[in-house]
Structure 1
Amino acid sequence: MINASDRRQAVELISEAVKEGAALYKACRELGISKRTYNRWKNTDNAYIDKRTTCERPEPQNKMTQEEKEQILEICNSEEFASKSPSEIVPILADIGT
C-alpha cells in the first residue's frame, strides 16, 4: 500500500506533468500507476488516506469458535492421525461420518 504523503506527491507530480504537456498515461506509467488509480486518488478527499485500512469489516459468519479449533487440534494430534496430513484426515473422518 502507498502511504498518504506518497499519494499526494504522485498526484501533484502527475498533475504538473500533464499541465506542462505530458500525456496522462505516460506520466502515470512513469510512476508505475494506472490512469484509473490516478483519477481515483485525485477525486478523493484531501487526506489521500487508504480507506481499506480504516473501514470496519464484519466477522465471517462461518468463523470457527474456539471450541471447534480445539476439537480439530485434538483430532489432528491424536495417535491415529498424528502422522497424517489434513488431506488424509478429512476423507477418513468423512467416511466415518464425523
Structure 2
Amino acid sequence: MADVLTAEAVEDELGGLTSWSGDPTGISRTVELASFPDAITVVDRVAATAEELDHHPDIDIRWRTLTFRCVTHSAGGVTDRDVALARRIDEIIRSAR
C-alpha cells in the first residue's frame, strides 16, 4: 500500500500542479469548461485515464463546472498515486481548452 504524504510533501506537490488545493486528507481542483459537452468529454477522458492507472477520482459535475478530488481511500489520505492522477487530469484539461 502507498504511504500517505506529509503536509509538507502535499504542499510541495501542489506547487507543481495547476489550480489544485488541499492537504493530506485530499486534493481537489475545480475547472469550468466552455460547454456541457466539453465538460463531459473531459470526464470521459479522465475516466479512461483512471482505469488505466487503476486509481479513480471523485468527480462532481455541475453543468460545465467539474470538481475533481483525489485521495487514496485505502491509505487514508493523499499518496503519490493521487499526485500522478492529478498531473494527468491537468494534461487532459489543458488539451481541452
TM range (shorter): under 0.3
Which has the larger helix fraction? 1
Specify which structure has the bigger relative contact order, considering alpha-carbon pairs within 8 angstroms and separated by 6 or more residues: 2
Which has the larger strand fraction? 2
Larger radius of gyration: 1
**Normalized against structure 2, the TM-score is what?**
0.25
